[in-house]
Amino acid sequence: MNRIDRMFERTHKQGRAALVTFLTAGDPDLALTAQLVPELESAGADLIELGFAHSDPIGEGATIQAASERALAGGTTLGQVIETVHEIRRVSEIPILLMGYVNNVLAYGEARLAADCARAGVDGLIVVDVPFDEGQRLQAECDAHGIHRILLVAPTSTPERVVRIAARSRGFVYCVSVTGVTGARRELPADLEALVRRIQRVASVPVGVGFGISTGAQAAQVARIADAVVVGSALVERVAAGASPEASLRAASDFVRELAAAVRTARQT
């Protein structure tokens, strides 16, 4: 069974949502990325998303765009990110998925990507700019190698489209909480619960919510209605603000510990 599936089995039995944290791999370098993953696991993260940098990340706000630029300036490649996961597997079995854009996937090769991810210990893949009804070859390669391809539902997705996306997604359905790009926001949409419930009614896999979650209070709010809470930009900001690798590790760990406490107790109140 895929590590993502096992993780959701565990959190379901515990009666809580999962905490998913996003890092831009290679920001500021892959050595720190490799240190951050087990550190965040110890702090309470249940699943790690590693973004592979792209020169034109159209779905990202300023924070993750800047992180991608730093990673690319440091020479980070998709192949190196996969190798970093292989290194992380020496010390951690936390579920890891890669997240990025189709140009990188096509340049690397779909079959090669799925095979290399499987060998390295990658559990899932999100390609944000491939519509759910395209990418059949990538889907087939992922299925053949046991890599879950996680698909996205947006607030603008029609009811029919939600049904079809939910049927094809593996691991979990990624519910994009807002229209627009990634980035921390002061408030979550008032109709978020209705969107999550609409997806849950037709999905046979868990539903995770991301985009805009930046505080423990917001994480708890989402944890009461969804199966997973995804936090990205707010964490990437803390990593970037560190004056040293040690400072970045401390700041990221402290933030994730705060988020984890909020998520784990959200349904108790």
CATH code at 233?
Answer: 3.20.20.70
Q: Is 174 among the domain residues?
A: no
Q: Is 56 among the domain residues?
A: yes
- DSSP output for 108-139: H-HHHHHHHHHHHT--EEEETTS-TTS-HHHH
- 137's CB contacts (< 8 A; 6+ apart) are 110, 111
Q: Angle 74-77-83 (CA atoms, 0-180°, nearest 5)? A: 110
Q: How confident is the model at residue 179 (pLDDT cuts 50, 70, 90)?
A: low
Q: Is 256 among the domain residues?
A: yes
Q: Is 185 among the domain residues?
A: no
Q: Is 74 among the domain residues?
A: yes
- Range of the structural domain that residue 44 is part of: 3-149+213-263
Q: Is 120 among the domain residues?
A: yes
**How far apart are alpha carbons 203 and 69 in whole angstroms?**
36
Encode pLDDT of 35-92 as tens digits.
999 999 999 999 999 999 887 756 567 888 899 999 999 999 999 999 999 999 999 9
Tell me what the mean pLDDT of segment 233-257 comes to: 96
**How far apart are alpha carbons 27 and 217 in whole angstroms?**
27
Residue 207 has pLDDT above 50, yes or no: yes
Quick one: which of 37, 52, 42, 47 has its CA closest to 89? 37
* Domains of the chain: total: 1
**How far apart are alpha carbons 163 and 67 in whole angstroms?**
34
Top pLDDT among 54 and 181 is at: 54
Residue 95 has pLDDT above 70, yes or no: yes
Q: How confident is the model at residue 30 (pLDDT cuts 50, 70, 90)?
A: very high
Pair type for strands 96-100 and 207-210: unpaired
pLDDT confidence of residue 58: 62
Prediction pTM value: 0.94
Count of other CB atoms within 10 angstroms of residue 154: 17
Q: Is 203 among the domain residues?
A: no
Q: Is 158 among the domain residues?
A: no
Residue 255 has pLDDT above 90, yes or no: yes
